[in-house]
Amino acid sequence: MKLENKVALVTGGNSGIGLATAKLFKEQGAQVIITARTVESFDKAQKEYGNHFDVIQADVSKIDEIDNLYARIKEKHGRLDVLFANAGIALFSPTTESTPEFFDNQFNTNVRGLYFTVQKALPLLSPGSRVVLNASVVGVKGFPGSSVYSATKAAVRSFARTWTAEIPVEQVRFNVLSPGPIMTPIFDKMGMDSEQKNETAKQFAEMTPIKRMGKPEEMAKAVLFLASDDSSYIAGVELFADGGFGQV
């Protein structure tokens, strides 16, 4: 029970890596709050997981919704011990075809949204709390069509370095998880059919030394490591859980 009696928030915890992490946190003894971005995703998450988690509708690209999220957490739970800043979007386009709206959409969620998710959590974070930021291996590896997305994830990694230098580690310990290619519902959100998803997974597997896509549950175990006392002497690092995708 590595998170016994801890209060943990997982933004974007209604699917994919976030949901797998929320489930593992719950198994490890935490009281878990998850967010869902839209009313539709909130209703679905509330119906499916409302008995297990405190489900809150919050779009992190909207400051007032972040404020409402923390007001509710403060009222109901009084504090936070663990934050997994996971909410984000992934959209891909060649640089020549990217629009200002395409750019702003990702930066508003992945960079601005994450920044204020952490900033506004600070008054609620208890001494010795842990914050894990979800980035991506594409923050350090060039990948066609990912210029904007990759830049947002490089910014996330930068935040962890600065916050580790700025905020006393005994108060909050920051680290970054950078997943490689993971089989999550993100492929459905990109409009891929089953054949396209299988072909994409095959291509990623061929580029990965482990020769397969990763699983959300594997990422959850890495987040748990960074969020628990198992990583007590680790601060400001970027942990690549990528099957070697960005390492060789």
- Asked whether residue 213 is assigned to any structural domain, the reply reads no
Which has the minimum average pLDDT: 111-115, 131-135, 178-182, 201-205?
A: 201-205
| In contact, 29 and 2? CB cutoff 8 Å | yes
Which has the minimum average pLDDT: 153-157, 158-162, 194-198, 244-248?
A: 194-198
Which long-range CB contacts under 8 A does 198-205 form with residues at least 24 apart? 204/180, 204/245, 205/181
155 has pLDDT over 70: yes
pLDDT tens sequence across 3-25: 999 999 999 999 999 999 999 99
- Give 42-76 as a DSSP string: HHHHHHHHTTTSEEEE--TTSHHHHHHHHHHHHHH
pLDDT of residue 93: 95
Mean pLDDT along residues 190-215: 85
**CA–CA separation, 78 vs 63, rounded Å?**
20
**CA–CA separation, 120 vs 131, rounded Å?**
13
- Asked whether residue 101 is assigned to any structural domain, the reply reads yes
pLDDT of residue 120: 98
pLDDT of residue 188: 64
Mean pLDDT along residues 116-142: 97
Residue 193, Cβ density class (10 Å: 0-12 exposed, 13-18 middle, ≥19 buried) = exposed
User: How does residue 92 score in pLDDT terms, banded at 50, 70 and 90?
Assistant: very high
- Asked whether residue 189 is assigned to any structural domain, the reply reads no
- Asked whether residue 174 is assigned to any structural domain, the reply reads yes
**CA–CA separation, 235 vs 42, rounded Å?**
33
- Asked whether residue 65 is assigned to any structural domain, the reply reads yes
189 has pLDDT over 70: no
Quote the tokens at residue 32.
């878990």
190: which DSSP letter?
Answer: T
Q: Above pLDDT 90, what percent of the chain?
A: 90
Tally the domains of the chain. Answer: 1
Which has the minimum average pLDDT: 16-30, 128-142, 177-191, 222-236?
A: 177-191
- Asked whether residue 191 is assigned to any structural domain, the reply reads no
- Residue among 178, 157, 150, 176 at smallest CA distance from 247: 178
Q: Which domain holds residue 114?
A: 7-182+218-241
Catalytic residue among 70, 115, 149, 233: 149
216 has pLDDT over 70: yes
pLDDT of residue 65: 98
- Asked whether residue 178 is assigned to any structural domain, the reply reads yes
Mean pLDDT along residues 69-88: 98
**CA–CA separation, 14 vs 35, rounded Å?**
7
- Residue among 79, 69, 84 at smallest CA distance from 126: 79
Catalytic, 149? Answer yes
- Asked whether residue 93 is assigned to any structural domain, the reply reads yes
| In contact, 209 and 244? CB cutoff 8 Å | yes
Read off the CATH number of the domain in which 176 is found: 3.40.50.720
138 has pLDDT over 90: yes
pLDDT of residue 22: 98
81 has pLDDT over 90: yes
User: How does residue 198 score in pLDDT terms, banded at 50, 70 and 90?
Assistant: confident
Task: Give the dihedral of Cα atoms 104, 62, 166, 130; nearest 10 deg.
Answer: -120
